Structure 1
């Protein structure tokens, strides 16, 4: 349940925590991924923070429209300056969760010390991509986002573009998602572990699985494994901490490249943009 009424504001997050406040929170501080999604939905955070992967400056791949909207970035969430945060007078913290238990980018104690509720919404593979986007839509609506609450999911026209492009590319057109790890290593994504990759597979895109080995979400290996899989298109992690797939020793000659942010804002607009970019890559 969520919303605002005569008895105050309430929202149940994806840990099952029932949050409450006397009034609808107006001053939201969020993890950058969550903050960018809320901005897309019409709720502008007063500030955002990063994850342990992020540095003192915002990662352009994860920023969405936050910088253009003038939303300040506070640095990594687990190194937040308590006094700076207190000066912002937050009324709600918004983070994501991968395990349904703990916020990903900030210590829960921070919210406790401030005396403000902390909402953590799931972005893990226990939910489908439409469900993840839908939950952010519900939170946006609970925070007063203008317009009707979105139904959730990627807009139909963007999914139709991917479906048509997958047919045009053909059944043998393999797509590999990866994140460069540096030192000659690469993380190869397991498609079923990523809600957006699973959704693309459901639309007919042939996602390549890296095969057996350790790691639930990634297989960490040498670049030669990427060559062996012979992808026709590579979705490469374009976040600042990931190394880029350059050179013939890393990818097959002629492989197409499309940037992929594994922490894309869970909003219809952000995923529509990504799906259209992939559709263009499949047919270029």
Structure 2
């Protein structure tokens, strides 16, 4: 699969493959197609805010979503919703990791005010179709982690869900951060966002500055090696950098990653905790999602404690599912650049 899912076997391997063109009911003209690599920004057309007339958007499955007017009642995967929020587009409902058990926002909610949105599903496989229908949705927006898939839309109810409103899926894995941001910006613009606002242009400038910093850090410290990790109770996962949008981009900027012997899916290698020291690295980036065990929960794992990067305090969070806006991705680049700049060579 295109991304490591660590805490639960279903979450790791149970991708929601929609397969081919998705039937979206009378409101949506579904055009079957490819993975979205050909869906460029010129395919992002739609009615801007204040304009009348039909709206359409070609997503990264190659499907064209259509509506009689610009969608206003939007329901989205929480990360997609958070990105739209950064461009000034608000949603009515969300699904995916939104609220922690203590009621606080999940890391994937970004700057969303989760008290002002209807949560129709908070965990993998949970999607309340009745709540969704009650919102009178004009659009459902989510991510694509595998060709034709709808992220966090349950396979068992996807056809029922797709009949209620047009659906848009944006590539989140087989791409790079800049390309993914562009596509989320395309969608926001089609929904009426002001892409020339100071907030947006300032965020883009911060992102470009951070990218230049990371490139410079990687060039100055070519000896520093980074491992992409994620933890569950029984296993430690080492990911292959080129298979995810964030780490593929970091690699393009010159960051040197550990290369695991990937499994049959080609994305990551499972290691028992006894074998967690198989790969040595100067920095470990650890999956920050609530579905994965965090470093603070690994103190009882002796083999973890013995890793050189852990001993040196060179473990940093990895934003495994980035919120694809310039505002949220700029700090990700800055944080990795800082870690490389300050890292000690420990192996």
- Using the size of structure 2 for normalisation, the TM-score is 0.73
Which of 50, 56, 59 pairs up with 1:10?
A: 56
Which of 245, 270, 279 pairs up with 2:328?
A: 270
Deviation at 1:123, TM superposition (A): 1.1
Moved more, 214-223 or 193-202: 214-223
Which structure's residues are more often strand, by fraction?
1
Q: Distance in 2 between matches of 1:154 and 1:215?
A: 36
Deviation at 1:62, TM superposition (A): 1.1
Q: Secondary structure at the match of 2:194?
A: coil
Which residue of structure 2 lines up, in the alignment, with residue 257 of structure 1? 315
Is the CA contact 1:31–1:105 (under 8 Å) kept in the aligned structure 2?
yes
1:42-85 CA deviation, whole Å, 9 max, x = no partner? 1111121016xx98977622111113673343224743222222
Runs of 5+ in structure 2 lacking a partner? 1-42, 343-347
Q: Distance in 2 between matches of 1:40 and 1:226?
A: 38
Q: Secondary structure at the match of 1:239?
A: coil
Moved more, 227-236 or 20-29: 227-236
Deviation at 1:261, TM superposition (A): 2.1
**Change in 2 beyond 3 A, CA 1:32/1:212:** closer
Which residue of structure 1 lines up, in the alignment, with residue 215 of structure 2? 163
Q: Distance in 1 between matches of 2:128 and 2:63?
A: 25
Which of 260, 263, 274 pairs up with 1:210?
A: 260
Say yes or no: does 1:173 pair with 2:220: no
Moved more, 254-263 or 62-71: 62-71
Which residue of structure 1 lines up, in the alignment, with residue 233 of structure 2? 182
Which residue of structure 2 lines up, in the alignment, with residue 138 of structure 1? 186
Q: Distance in 2 between matches of 1:23 and 1:259?
A: 41
Q: Secondary structure at the match of 1:263?
A: coil
Which residue of structure 2 lines up, in the alignment, with residue 106 of structure 1? 153
Moved more, 211-220 or 34-43: 211-220
State the superposition RMSD in angstroms. 2.7
Q: Distance in 1 between matches of 2:275 and 2:105?
A: 28
Q: Distance in 1 between matches of 2:75 and 2:167?
A: 10
Q: Distance in 2 between matches of 1:244 and 1:77?
A: 19
1:9-56 CA deviation, whole Å, 9 max, x = no partner? 1111111111111110011100111111111121111121016xx989
Q: Distance in 2 between matches of 1:117 and 1:133?
A: 21
Tell me which stretches of 4 or more aligned residues in structure 1 moved more than 6 Å: 54-59, 149-154
- Using the size of structure 1 for normalisation, the TM-score is 0.88
Moved more, 13-22 or 248-257: 248-257
Which residue of structure 2 lines up, in the alignment, with residue 222 of structure 1? 272
Which of 137, 140, 145 pairs up with 1:93?
A: 140
Which residue of structure 1 lines up, in the alignment, with residue 82 of structure 2? 36
Q: Distance in 2 between matches of 1:56 and 1:27?
A: 28
